[in-house]
Structure 1
Amino acid sequence: MQDRRMTSTSSFALPRNPSAGYAELPALMSLMTGDEKHGPAATSTLDVLWVLYDRVLRVSPETVDAPDRDRFLLSKGHGPMAYYAVLAAKGFVPREWLPGFGTFDSPLGHHPDRLLVPGVEIASGSLGHGLPIAVGTALGLKAQRRAARTFVLVGDAEMDEGSNHEAIAFAGAVGLEGLHVVAVDNASATYGWRGGLASRFEVEGWSAVTVDGRDHEALYEAFTAPHPGRPHAVVARVEPKYA
């Protein structure tokens, strides 16, 4: 039986394509097929991921192991097609990997694996884990006095998990300025939040803003807004999951 880890390690030597543009992302996503694509989960994050990797994150294929790189954690890891497409577009992984998405010997699993995919920081997909991990990551970088920032992408339904509420309360209380949460809201939460999802962060002392999750300029301004002494949350609203 073939070992997936050995397969992925040898594949790292493949030549990577030049950086692609946003318009090419649908074509890259179309290369990934199968029965477990989680289409709504993937497409809802596409614009957020693109703006982050194209204009915000201080990380590149050449700096995936640099100590001072920004960390991006995909907590919403059960729909990684858009994530893989963006990583391929930016040269982190070869495009030749995309058609093998989800197959036995492919490094591109239905959940991202940090040991198999260059640029992936955590193995994710169990909802409610990414934000607490991001808090620990941001604390560690702060203790090391590094300027690197931590970004974590969560879904609105995922915010029902109690572990997230503990993480939000703690990060707000200690003023974890290096932590940034991107919450993609496609109206899939069971009950929602009185006053909107941003209010859940604000009540714990966070800086928070709600924007159109398809508006690239609005996303960029929200991601880069100053928030001295406080963690920052961007709620990116997109079309409802079952619209």
Structure 2
Amino acid sequence: MTTREMKIFAAEIRKTVLYGLDTVKSGHIGGCMSMADLLAVLYGEVMNVDPKNPQLKTRDRLVVSKGHCGPAVYAALALKGYFPMEWMKTINLSQTKLPSHCDMNMVPGIDMTTGSLGQGMSTALGLAWGLRYQKINSYVYLVLGDGECDEGQVWEGALFAGTKKLNNIIAFVDQNLKQLDGYTKDICDVGDLRKKFEDFGWFAQEVNGNDVEEIKNAIEIAKLQVEKPSMIVLHTEKGKDCTFAQDVFYNHHMTFTEEQYEEAVHHLDEIIKEA
């Protein structure tokens, strides 16, 4: 995709998240919106995947460790044709094929079940280690939340990856500065994430995580690293481009009205027209 197309794709992902959650009028709005630009780059330009063959052995893998943002991943998958768009209207309903958190056993295109924060780091490294062992030249992409980086398991994994020089993993921290009940700095301050990952043996960068061009360029630079795993810290805005969530402090999980939904969709439509 071109930069313009990726911007449009990101807005469509945000719209599709809201379309899906509109049935129950609630969901993890904040983090879904902040990571939409990253998903647009990964599914629109970067990852080697095939919607017609979700289990392609040589595909790139994606592990979204902040699994509560599954609706954003589902939106990207639906827009790419992994499953019918109608499925999105069933998120969190009884008998749904799209549970709230990422589920590899129920959703075509999901590579790892996630939701228990921190564990995605370990499973992504297992995938990367396995691909190296099988001599499959594919990448594993990992998405962590900044609040999730409070978890010790993240840093055990970071140490392992740096020690083993797993250069086939490219990880991201969605650093929107907030977690469930407040600012990350007030709950458990992780400090300079870029410097921390560098100290654990990673090649690390920082970019505007709501700018598709910056994300794409950072991934291209990361792929040039042959001796280290790569971390890209994404500076994002929680609730980005969602009119009823963007300026709300507690926007991790939200309820919303039909009027708020329609206003948000109209705003995203205007973003698409402008692009």
Scaled to the shorter chain, the TM-score interval is: 0.7 to 0.9
Instruction: Kindly report which structure 2 residues correspond to 1:1-243, keeping only aligned pairs within 5 A, or say none.
Output: 21-33=9-21, 34=24, 36-188=26-178, 189=184, 190-194=187-191, 196-225=192-221, 226-239=224-237, 242=249
Offset of residue 183 of structure 1: 0.8
Q: Percent identity?
A: 32
TM-score, normalization: structure 1?
0.87
RMSD: 1.6
The gaps in structure 2 that reach 5 residues or longer are 1-7, 179-183, 240-248, 251-275
Contact 2:14 2:33 (8 Å CA) reproduced: no
Aligned-partner residue type, residue 98 of structure 2 = L
Distance 2:84 2:172 in 1: 26
TM-score, normalization: structure 2?
0.77
Any idea what the Cα deviations from partners look like across 1:136-160, whole Å, max 9, x if unmatched?
A: 1100100011101111111000011
Distance 1:85 1:122 in 2: 16
Offset of residue 30 of structure 1: 2.3
Aligned-partner residue type, residue 92 of structure 2 = G
Contact 1:114 1:123 (8 Å CA) reproduced: yes
Distance 2:13 2:164 in 1: 38
Which secondary structure state, in structure 2, belongs to the residue aligned with residue 218 of structure 1? helix
Distance 2:9 2:167 in 1: 31
Q: Higher helix share goes to which structure?
A: 2
Distance 2:50 2:172 in 1: 20
Contact 2:65 2:144 (8 Å CA) reproduced: yes
Offset of residue 240 of structure 1: 5.1
Distance 1:192 1:178 in 2: 29
Q: Greater relative contact order: 1 or 2 (C-alpha under 8 angstroms, separation 6 or more)?
A: 2
* Aligned residue-pair number: 223
Which secondary structure state, in structure 2, belongs to the residue aligned with residue 27 of structure 1? helix
Offset of residue 44 of structure 1: 1.3
Distance 2:189 2:209 in 1: 18
The gaps in structure 1 that reach 5 residues or longer are 1-19
Offset of residue 36 of structure 1: 4.7
Contact 1:77 1:124 (8 Å CA) reproduced: yes
